[in-house]
C-alpha cells in the first residue's frame, strides 16, 4: 500500500512541477504575442508601434527586432523612429 501512495505522490509532484514550469515558460515562448497584446491594450495613443519579433532573456533583457514607430495624428504616416534592434534591460525584482 505504501508503494502505491509513493507512486501517486511522485506522479502528482511531476505533474505539478510540469504545470509550474509551463507557466513560467509562457513569457519566454510567446514574447512577441504578449508584447503585441500589451501594446494594443496600452494607453499609447497617436502612435503605431510595429516590430518583427521580440525575445525575453531570463537575465532580464527584452530585445525587440525591426522596430518602427509611426505618428498617426499630427504627422500621420511619418516615421518617428526605426531601429534594427532595441534592447531594454531590467531587474526582475523591480517588476510588480
| Cα–Cα distance, 54 to 36 (Å, whole number) | 10
Distances (CA, A) of 4 to 9, 10, 18, 70: 9, 10, 21, 62
**Predicted confidence pLDDT, tens digits, the chain (96 residues):** 567 788 889 999 999 999 999 999 999 999 999 999 999 888 787 788 999 999 999 999 999 999 999 887 776 777 889 999 999 999 989 887
Say what the pTM is: 0.75
Amino acid at each position: 500500500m505504501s508503494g502505491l501512495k509513493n507512486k501517486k505522490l511522485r506522479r502528482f509532484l511531476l505533474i505539478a512541477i510540469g504545470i509550474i514550469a509551463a507557466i513560467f515558460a509562457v513569457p519566454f515562448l510567446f514574447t512577441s504575442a504578449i508584447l503585441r497584446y500589451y501594446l494594443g491594450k496600452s494607453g499609447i495613443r497617436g502612435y503605431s508601434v510595429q516590430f518583427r519579433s521580440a525575445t525575453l532573456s531570463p537575465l532580464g533583457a527584452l530585445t525587440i527586432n525591426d522596430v518602427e514607430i509611426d505618428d498617426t495624428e499630427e504627422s500621420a504616416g511619418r516615421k518617428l523612429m526605426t531601429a534594427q534592434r532595441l534592447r531594454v534591460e531590467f531587474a526582475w525584482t523591480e517588476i510588480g
